[in-house]
Chains A and B, each alone.
Chain A
């Protein structure tokens, strides 16, 4: 079975501080991993994804994530938080390159304090 666990339903950081949102996954096959962002009253938007190849992936808005197989983790980071980063973030997993279903974590709400 595929699933993701997001540690921390709420994270607060100061503007300019490091953002770290945690995601651990379980998968019976090599996973495809994703981070999505949801701004208030909007749908989800893809931030970045890991499929194969380089384990450090870069996304939009300065975010990046590193796939660590030994730790079954795919944490999302950004060196310097901006007020516009305040949103809900979801980690998701898909079963390799054949699965049609995506499994989402419960989400982490990021607050940026001025």
Chain B
């Protein structure tokens, strides 16, 4: 099992560009999450998907969209990147009814 995988690992964008961060899990988990991690602020939830076909906003959804493509994949899209979106993005997954989240290795995004 690869667990939770994220692509790309690193990305540099210019202000206004768009991009999609990809996340996939091979553990048959129902729930998937996107977080951003910023210095001194810990992890903040952007969006989550409790099950295939559903998505919900977290603490900081503005400027992002998500797609739960199927049970395995949950993508995060930045339509018009801004410098404030410079961050490390983590995807996580969880079996519904359990408490353990499994995290991917992260995507380090810089917006110039």
Binding site for B on A (CB under 8 A): 6, 9, 32, 34, 41-46, 49, 51, 90, 92, 94, 100-107
Contact = CB atoms under 8 A, between A and B. Distances in A.
B21 to A, nearest CB: 14
Interface stretch (B41-49, B67-75, B76-84): B41-49
Given A49-B99, A100-B50, A43 B104 contact: yes
Interface residues of B, number: 24
A46 B45 contact: no
A40 to B, nearest CB: 11
A103 B99 CA distance: 13
A44 B106 CA distance: 9
B6 to A, nearest CB: 8
A44 B90 CA distance: 9
Contacts of B99: 32, 34, 49, 51, 94
Binding site secondary structure of chain A: strand
Nearest to B105: A43
Contacts of B50: 100
A106 to B, nearest CB: 4
B91 to A, nearest CB: 9
B31 A100 contact: yes
B26 interface: no
13 contacts: A9-B40, A41-B105, A43-B90, A43-B106, A44-B101, A45-B103, A46-B101, A51-B99, A100-B48, A102-B45, A103-B45, A105-B42, A106-B42
Contact of B101 (A9, A51, A102): A102
B93 to A, nearest CB: 11
A106 B43 CA distance: 7
B105 A42 contact: yes
B43 A104 contact: yes
Nearest to A6: B42
Nearest to A92: B43
